[in-house]
Amino acid sequence: MYKMGIIGLLLASLWACGVEKPIETGIKENPSTFCNPLNLDYRFMKIDGGDGIREAADPVVVRYKDKYLLFASKSSGYWYSFDFNTWTHVVIPDSVLPIEDYAPAVMVQDDYVYYVGSTHGKGMLYRSNQPELGKWEKVKEIWSYWDPAFYIEGDKLYLYYGCSPVDPIYVAVLDLKTLEEIEKPRPCLNSDMQHHGWERPGEYNELTRRPYIEGAWMTRQGDKYYLQYAAPGTEWKTYADGTYVSDSPVGPFVYAPNNPVSYKPGGFIGGAGHGCLFQVGSNYWKAATNSISVRHMFERRLSFYPTYFDTNGYLYSETAFGDYPMFLPAEEERTAVRPEWMLLSFRKPVTVSSVKEDFGVENMVDEDARTAWVANSNQEEWVQIDLLNQCQVCAIQVNYDEYGACQKGIVPGIYQSYVLRASRNGKDWYVIADKSQKKTDTPHDYIEFEVPFDARFIRWENKAYTVSSNVSLREIRVFGKGYGKKPEAVQGLHVERNAMDACKCRLTWNPVSNADGYIIRYGVSPNKLYNSIQIFNDSARLDFSSLNADQNYYFSIAAYNENGISQYLTSSDKR
CATH number for domain 342-482, candidates 2.60.120.260, 1.50.10.20, 3.90.420.10, 3.40.50.2020? 2.60.120.260
Instruction: Judge contact between 232 and 264, C-beta under 8 A.
Output: no
Pairing between β-strand 373-374 and β-strand 416-423 as defined by DSSP bridges: unpaired
573 confidence band (pLDDT: 50, 70, 90):
low
Exposure string for 246-284, b = 16+ CB within 10 A, e = fewer: beebbbebeebebbbbbbbbbbbbbbbbbbbbbebeebb
Question: 73-113 pLDDT, tens per residue?
Answer: 999 999 999 999 999 999 999 899 999 889 999 999 999 99
Q: Domain ranges in the chain?
A: 54-323, 342-482, 491-572
Q: pLDDT at position 20, please? A: 80
**Element holding 16 (H helix, E strand):** helix 2-16
570 confidence band (pLDDT: 50, 70, 90):
confident
Q: For the residues 404-418, what does the mean pLDDT come to?
A: 95
Instruction: Judge contact between 557 and 513, C-beta under 8 A.
Output: no
Q: How far is CA 391 from CA 72, 289, 388, in A?
A: 38, 33, 9
Q: pLDDT at position 539, please? A: 83
Instruction: Judge contact between 117 and 101, C-beta under 8 A.
Output: yes
The DSSP letter of residue 132 is G
Q: For the residues 30-46, what does the mean pLDDT come to?
A: 97
Q: What is the rounded radius of gyration, in angstroms, for the C-alpha atoms of the chain?
A: 25
**Amino acid identity, residue 1?**
M
Least confident window among 2-6, 88-92, 248-252, 388-392: 2-6
Q: pLDDT at position 374, please? A: 98
Q: pLDDT at position 571, please? A: 80
- Rounded-to-integer distance, Cα 125 and Cα 106, Å: 10
Cα angle for residues 147, 150, 152 (degrees, 5° grid) = 165
Question: 531-550 pLDDT, tens per residue?
Answer: 999 999 778 999 999 999 99
CATH number for domain 491-572, candidates 3.40.50.720, 1.20.140.10, 2.60.40.10, 3.40.50.1400? 2.60.40.10
Q: How far is CA 463 from CA 88, 378, 437, 466, in A?
A: 24, 8, 8, 10
As a whole number, the mean pLDDT across the chain is 94
18 confidence band (pLDDT: 50, 70, 90):
low
Cβ of 179: how many Cβ atoms within 10 Å?
16
- Rounded-to-integer distance, Cα 157 and Cα 151, Å: 6
- Answer whether CATH 2.115.10.20 is correct for domain 54-323: yes
Instruction: Judge contact between 252 and 260, C-beta under 8 A.
Output: no
- The full DSSP string for 214-265 is EEEEEEEETTEEEEEEEES-TTSTT-EEEEEEESSTT---EE-TT--SB---
pTM of the model: 0.95
- % of the chain surpassing 70 pLDDT: 96
481 confidence band (pLDDT: 50, 70, 90):
very high
Q: Is the pLDDT reported for residue 17 higher than 70?
A: no
Question: 142-152 pLDDT, tens per residue?
Answer: 988 899 999 99
Q: Is the pLDDT reported for residue 509 higher than 50?
A: yes
Question: 209-247 pLDDT, tens per residue?
Answer: 999 999 999 999 999 999 999 999 999 999 999 999 999
Instruction: Judge contact between 76 and 407, C-beta under 8 A.
Output: no
Q: pLDDT at position 537, please? A: 76
Q: Is the pLDDT reported for residue 12 higher than 60?
A: no
